Structure 1
């Protein structure tokens, strides 16, 4: 009897590429396979495309029906894989994502290695990586080459380029109590965590041929997650895979309705696109719509405001209005005149007064939030703390790294240091 290969395909909101992934399995020269499409509650467009292929009796479809607010609690693709493995029956197991395709003879060549070498438990191949733009045009590409027999494949091998035996999975489960480690710390590289488990029992044996193609578009998880800090600063305009825009305000996500974007001086082009799990981990706050001009108490913080009939300019912070003392102070903090939101006099008077924002040279007791400073390194002000922020992280968040507020060491020493904004990459 021919060996059966179980293929586990994880899917989430990739309607442009999911069909290609599925068809690459159907076109395999090796016919003895079963495909488990583990969909993470994708949008209707993606699900409709998947359902076009379910007439094939070798294809099984499962929808997680995960709620958005639950997504960040585990590394989702690892969770989906863990759910698929007990359903599978193959002697060999391999993996696929919704933005990857197998070359036609991939499975055949990998199975052949196992048949010829019964002591081998893991094989991996080369991978062609294509970076594509929003129109699916290739902007650059490279081959992720094999590097011989590996005992440390972390950062070298992609999980769409391997196949392993079922028996090694059983050993992993007996030792760890699960197959893949779906701890949320491994969102960026769950395969690396799995590799560490696999290499307790076997080496990775190479097939020095390109057998799969990875497509990395602007919305691939790796590109969206790269240089994203664990906690997003207040005042950051963000979006997930949908077109909805949110402002992070008091560590809540508040949807900003399109009709008020211009009036509130938000620039949609500066919105930071982040993975959905990281967006939905923030509780949903009060929407930002036309009602903020009827009740300024619910206006988002970190907005410059002034009335039509008075020259004073204020900065909203902690739901209070802070008077900017003079024009010199305004310039020092790199505030912009074209970002001032005009509001009704009466409503302005109803906002509680906070401490004034004074010149940098004055021993001010309270910093304005959301200001990017630079001495030798960058700092971001939040809650009267200066938070060290990596340059790549600041650039990711669309902060003005080319026009920061320049400060000296004496200024830094006046304020407490907060938790740094860094990119958490787990090796």
Structure 2
């Protein structure tokens, strides 16, 4: 089912490793034209355009785009108590772990009367996108909203596609998750049009534009986020989910296979990769995958994902080589199932989230670890991080110098301004001491 990449007794360069990394054949740019047209429709037609798009693309025309507050309250009341308890616990854990990401202002005194204050200011208003395709994601509501609340964002809006099964409204479990978090600005709108609505605002809905859009979606959502970047901020252009498992001969092949399948069930383009220095383990995992893929609930989807070019078993000479491959990949989710996962951790540079040991599966991070499951995909962990309170905070520098402190450095400022042929910069300083 899964193809094999054999790197034993090889020492590929970083560039060669990057070329060997298995990836799904997706390109956000291919959806740019369609996404751009959908955004333009919303900018021109407002709420009417969103309703037309819902009818055309989601197969249902909502009674209204904005979900009424009483409908959100009703969804909370009707929520399965077991699911509510799980969501409440997820909220508590994510809030606790996220609070550690908020910095207090820091004052640096460079000389008497010379101060620079580092402070972190929350954004005023943000928008969240919660997908509604192959699965329902109340956990994504938690993962997006809680960090913004911890950061101190004062105004939030949530968009999720209208559901034909629920009369064109947002899925009630999504609404319930929003209600548990106190979010009452929810819109039944999906895809690129929803991203455009959040970025530019929709006057006839009373929807004000946001400063940042976060949350995953399909290729049209990712393309739309690329198009509106600059008008508003975005977290990332999220692609199909990924799991990389580094395992040695001590790993349980049934557990490794179960973890690979758990991510493969998301989408046919989901990537599942095992990196190991043990051929017997690789063979045993392959056998377990054949068994699990045939019996799991989303069997057809899982088989297609595991058979795709984005999924592979990678054989390496040792765990150092495994870490090098993982760094070249930069996985969204990286599991380390070895005799001593902590010993390998210092070698890992690139990953959205790292799960250590047999009892730290990716599924834990999806729901109740306390960490955030909105993570960079497609190798973006090389230069970006998962969602957190810091996503919604902007570091700012506040400068305060008194007269003597400025006078002490004035000659140096003048010297540098002249060296850069910008003498007025120096003049702006010396003007404070003339007369």
TM-score range for the pair, normalised by the shorter chain length: under 0.3
Q: Provide TM-score, normalisation by structure 2.
A: 0.26
The structure with the largest strand share of the pair is 1
Using CA pairs below 8 Å that are at least 6 residues apart, which structure has the higher relative contact order?
A: 2
Q: Provide TM-score, normalisation by structure 1.
A: 0.26
The structure with the largest helix share of the pair is 2
